[in-house]
Amino acid sequence: MERTLIIIKPDAVQRGLTGEILRRFEARGLRIIGMKFMPISRALAEKHYEEHKGKGFFEGLVGYITSSPVVVIALEGTNAVQSARNTIGSTKPHEAAAGTIRGDFALEVGRNLVHGSDSVDSGKREVGNFFTEDELTSWTRSTDSWIFENR
């Protein structure tokens, strides 16, 4: 089972889209193993976006993600990273397919509602940045046999 980090960003929280976004991941079959409603500190934001340090948009990213509380979610499932990214849609909302989160609710890159890990390695690192192992709960739903093969 892969793990991925989802951040429901400040614009989505402010617009009241948290429940709808969370519903889409659950409806997809991904399992919530950790969730927090929290402000992101500048230090944590810089760590999260460290690969963009030195780029012209870095300060804007940090300022935006720290501007309002977010919901961080650790999800688990078969091909969780790619499944979550397909549910989210293209980074550029105008290129995102209808039926995706960004395709249905976003217009601009700088207000694209949600972050999802871009690889299995990033998922491991990012989940570790926001959650301790004690804060994560792997569990089995009664519906798992109808979602995952051979479980």
**Interior/surface letters 51-87, b for 16+ CB within 10 angstroms, e for the rest:** eeeeeeebeebbebbbeeebbbbbbbbeebbebbbeb
Q: Quick count: other Cβ atoms within 10 Å of Cβ 20?
A: 14
Selection from 66, 35, 48, 40 nearest residue 137 by Cα? 35
Out of 48, 52, 94, 115, pick the active-site residue.
Answer: 115
Please name the amino acid found at residue 28.
Answer: R
* Cβ 3 vs Cβ 116: under 8 Å: no
Q: Is 115 a catalytic residue?
A: yes
Query: Among all residues, which ones are annotated catalytic?
Result: 115
